Structure 1
Amino acid sequence: MEIKTRILIVEDDMIIAANISLQLSNLGYEVTGLVTRGEEAIIHAKSDKPDIILLDINLKGDLDGISAASKIQENHNIPIIYLTANSDEATFTRAKATHPYAFISKPFSNLDLRRTIALVVEQIKGSSEGVVDGFQNIQVLDDRIFVRHNGKMMKLLLDDISYIEADRNYSNLVTPNGSYLISTTLKVLETELKNHKFIRVHRSYMVNISKLDIVGEHHLEIKRKVIPLSKSFKQHLLKHLHTI
């Protein structure tokens, strides 16, 4: 039996939410819930772990859709599709920083919804094609990591990696001699590198703490590259800095 893609709908207009839910159910998707607030979306993402979140940008309450997405992405790698009636550049720039898989502009047709969801589902399948629990693309040894790059397994010394940046379901390993994009999530790398000098400092970044040049209140620097430092990861970083 084919496993259904599970979708959370976050929309504060319950008529729109119910209509979307009906359409998705008719298309064969599983709707894990209808929630109206960003705070509820965060709780639902943690407890139900949907495959996709369909998220209205203009939510009422303390958290709008973009803020809710940022909070969710601190702990979960769930593809986001934004619903928006806002076309201003500032809103788009904020939303783009959370790396959504797609935008659907309101008002939208049934065809818009169906095609967008289908394309995102294909992206998810494509990014995980050939992946067994996300580990086939890397092999970590004591002082080096072998990564699949351009069809080959390439050796990188761990000491040569300055930082790692998330790019949706991919990770970019940055060294002084170049960068290597691999189809492995930052969450997987965090687990694999937990006994090495790599620390998560932001939902989108891990750093090699031996490479840090500056530790600021809200940012780090490595070779003049400015890396954001999240409040939720700061104490963990400082604790490890005191041990080296």
Structure 2
Amino acid sequence: MNVLIVEDEPNYSDTLEMFIDELGYHVTGVAQDGNKAKKLFQNNRPDIVLMDINIKGNITGIELAKEFQSIQPTPIIFITSFDDKETFEKAKETAPHAYLIKPFDPGRLERCMELALQRAHSEDDKVFDEESNAVLAKDSFFVKERNRLVKVNINDIFWVEVDDKYTILHVEEKKYVLRQSLKYLCEKLDPSVFVQTHRSHIVNAAKIEDIDLQLSVVRINGNEIPLGKSYKDDLIKRLQML
């Protein structure tokens, strides 16, 4: 997960950067003023922004948040020393995902970041409950592994398979175990790219290396994926359209 920090107090920006690093996330940049923050936001398009309200320059964090949202809707968490009602009401106009008062509690910040992604990319209020561990953004999954969220780009997925009660995302040299059903993923993934080859397998058509019609398998990244009879004709039609 890529995080942009907008904070003009070195002590707090260093603390935030260290904390984000410990969580296993990536800090795309640290900005002390609005101009630098806008450049970093436009160039890197972070997944989440940690924003101080009172920053250097002629623009406030609240005004900067409005600009960010006009460029690309992005979860924003305000971290500020201001706890007065007037500042809070102004901040509310930008629909932030959290509003934390300094000194902040690292545990609470971690929970706020997790909830921010959930609310930004899912209509389900219980995305990261005991029954689930992933949320689908526009072009990626955020998969919860231990105490951090791992971003998996959809285009990097080779295939998806069901194993008992779990669904497994296969990417190059790694796999992610989800607690979502295959039906749920079928509804979320682009059907023009992902096609079902078996009752327990969905493949990224762009990753297919070859199809062995005699053995009824699809080869992807050196692996053989089963090709069921009832799915064979549909797969061939899809490939002809690509």
With normalisation by structure 1, the TM-score equals: 0.49
With normalisation by structure 2, the TM-score equals: 0.50
